[in-house]
Structures are given as C-alpha cells and as structure tokens.
C-alpha cells in the first residue's frame, strides 16, 4: 500500500466542493427574475449555470439581449441572496469532519463567488477552519486563471509542490494546473464528471472523507 501524500496547504473551491449551495442560489435567481418581470427558469437549468460566477449566471438567466436589465438584476439578486444564502446552504456531509481532521494543515478558500457572499456563508458555517479566503471580485481574476491560487500560496508562504487544490469543476482543475499545483477533483458537486475527467485531475474522490485517506 502506498503512503499518504504530504500536504501543507489545501485550497478549496466553495460552491459544489465545500458547500451545497445551489438551492439558495437558484431560489434567489428566480426571485430576481420575478421581480424584474421575467419568467422563472427551471431549477435544473439554473444549476447548470452555477460555478462560472453569478454575473455569468444572471446574464444567462436574464438573457443576452437585455444589457440594461443586467445591472438591475445584479442589484436585485444581491439583496435576495444576502437574505437567503444560508436558508438551505450547508457543508456537504463529511466536509466538517475532513476540515477538523486537517486542523493543523493550512486551509484556504478560492472561489469565483463574490467575497461578500462568501464571507457571509463562511461566517455562518465555520470561517475558523480557513486561514485565508479569496473571492472572484478580489482582483486576482477568476479560475481557471491562476491568479487567486498563486496569491494564496504567496500569502501563506507554501510551495506549489506542498499545495493541493480541491474542486468540482473544470475551472478548478484547469486553474490548479495553470498555477502549477496538483488537483483533487470531487465527484459529488455540480461539475460535469466527463469534462472534469478530461482535464486530468491528479485525484478524483466521491466523498470528502476520502481526503483523509489520501493526504496527510
């Protein structure tokens, strides 16, 4: 049996990796559409948009042909989502256990989600687990660009070969590889399994607890 892989820093994606958040996001998108006088979208369709950031999600939900509505949609969504982002959102089963297990390992969050929502959610669920959090509007670009990942490693002074990114999307896998770090993909999130596999993650897990079996 092979030994476990040593890690000094885990960088986690948020939505679909640490938290099951799609219900609250979808509900807020539909509340926004109704308020703007637009037809609601099926939940499954909205789930398909999640992961590329809320701006892209709203642009797709509102429709490309209403640029004026888009700014208004962002404003309306913000109000709804800040109010509802913890209604049903929680850590996936096994996540808390893994975070506690790795209490003495560095842990950060790198998400394309706005830092405002990210902070509210982590305050509600357990911000104390993480040394550093970077959001999509913090100025380091969005994954698959490597900027936020490189910034986290620099701030926490951990080398690339001691860092592992954990995420549920092709943006995560490609972003990690663009940053020169290894990636553990998760199969329980919102990402498309075939597309993720095609990006050749270094590991692929089905449950958060498997992090404890692979890494030390």
Tokens representing 168 are: 């549920």
φ and ψ at residue 143, rounded to 5 degrees: -60, 140
Taking the C-alpha atoms of 15, 200, 181 and 17 in order, what is their torsion angle to the nearest 10 degrees? 10
User: Crossing angle of helices 67-84/22-35, nearest 10°?
Assistant: 130
Which one is catalytic: 13, 69, 168, 172?
A: 13
Please answer whether residues 158 and 9 qualify as being in contact, where contact means their C-beta atoms are separated by less than 8 angstroms: yes
Catalytic residue flag (residue 138): no
List active site positions.
13
């Amino acid at each position: 049996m092979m030994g476990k892989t040593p890690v000094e820093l885990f960088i986690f994606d948020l939505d679909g990796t640490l938290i099951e958040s799609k219900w609250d996001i979808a509900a807020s998108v539909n509340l926004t559409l109704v308020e703007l006088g637009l037809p609601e979208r099926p939940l499954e369709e909205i789930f398909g948009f999640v992961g590329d950031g809320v701006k892209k999600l709203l642009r797709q939900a509102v429709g490309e042909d209403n640029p004026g509505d888009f700014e208004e949609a962002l404003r309306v969504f913000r109000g709804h989502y800040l109010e509802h982002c913890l209604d049903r959102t929680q850590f996936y089963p096994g996540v808390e256990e893994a975070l506690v297990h790795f209490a003495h390992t560095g842990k950060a969050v790198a998400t394309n989600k706005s830092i405002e929502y990210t902070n509210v959610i982590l305050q509600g669920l357990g911000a104390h687990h993480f040394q550093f959090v970077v959001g999509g509007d913090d100025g380091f670009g969005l994954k698959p660009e490597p900027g936020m990942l490189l910034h986290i490693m620099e701030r926490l002074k951990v080398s690339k070969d001691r860092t592992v990114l954990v995420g549920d999307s092709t943006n995560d896998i490609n972003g990690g590889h663009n940053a020169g770090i290894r990636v553990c993909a998760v199969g329980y999130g919102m990402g498309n399994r075939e597309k993720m596999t095609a990006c050749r993650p270094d590991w692929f897990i089905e449950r958060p607890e498997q992090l404890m079996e692979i890494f030390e």
